[in-house]
Amino acid sequence: MTDAENEIELQDQQFKQIENEQKMFPLVADRLPFDLVILDYDAETSPDYYNKAKELANTYGEIRQIRGDGNCFYRAVFVGILEVCMKNEEKAKQFLETCLGWNDRLLKLGFPDWTTNDFCEVFTDWFKKVVNKETTSEKIFDDLNDDSQSNYLIIFMRLITSGYLKEHSEDYAPFIDDGRSLADYCSTEIEAMWKDADHLGISGLVLATGYNIRIEYMDRTAAPNGGWHYDIPADCNETPEISLLYRPGHYDIIYHK
């Protein structure tokens, strides 16, 4: 075996180890006290993160951790929307109508009929049970932690994100690097599972769902506006109902006190 082949085999083993470690963590964890975030940092070795965590603890009382598998942004936003809808029947019905409308919108954009219809139908049939109160909170979160069921739901979220970007291609295409087309970018970066969301993906999902979000940043250099938090869309007039905590490469859901 050549040195190059040895290197590839070693990388494969490392990726498998990381994947196995990730699978030990639930896709969607229970809500826990936000003070646990403070315990992740040492006041002497990580003073900026430690102080930011303490500051956020004045505003946020709980955190729900999401598995870091490349889908964490899409999963976190979906769970956030779901929790809002579980408390508000009217908003649940509105979100269902939005999701039902995406089937035809995706087909008009040229998405393949069979797979598009399949993913849309699975998602809306599942969500109808939430709207009609034909399921329990326990069953909902069991589904969210079932890889097969949950990933079907996340694929739908990725598809509508891609759809929104394609519907507004003139707005988004100029931001794609390396001379790639928007279609190629959406295929490899948005529709593909286990790919982290960048700013276009974040914007696309928020606008496709109609739910504004606030992202709190542990590191202000990562925020688009250089601040500690960023609301999407930036011109929203109300405090978003869904808040996420961003730590390098990862999103969790956080809840106001």
12 carries an active-site annotation: no
Residue with tokens 């326990």: 138
Query: Per the structure block, which two tokens stand in for 236?
Result: 């929203």
Nearest one of 212, 217, 202 to 233, comparing CA atoms: 212
- Of these residues, 3, 69, 120, 186, which one is catalytic? 69
Give the distance from CA 207 to its chain's centroid.
Answer: 13
Q: Tell me if residue 248 falls in helix, strand or coil.
A: coil
Helix (H) or strand (E) holding 81: helix 72-87
- Written as one letter, the residue type at 65 is Q
**Considering 72, 85, 120, 186, which one is annotated as catalytic?**
72
Our answer to whether residue 69 is catalytic in this structure is: yes
| Chain centroid to CA 148 | 17
Report the DSSP beta bridge partners of residue 64: 31, 253
Active site residue 256: no
- Could you give the CA distance from residue 233 to residue 222 in angstroms, rounded to a whole number? 17
Return the half-sphere exposure (C-beta side, CA atoms, 13 A cut-off) of residue 77. 27
Alpha carbons 111 and 107: distance in angstroms, whole number:
5
| Residue 92 near residue 130 (C-beta atoms within 8 A) | yes
Across-strand partners of 62?
Answer: 33, 255
Query: Both ends of the chain: CA-CA distance in Å?
Result: 58
Annotated catalytic residue: which of 143, 186, 250, 252? Answer: 250
60-66 and 28-33 strand pairing: antiparallel
Annotated catalytic sites, by residue?
69, 72, 250
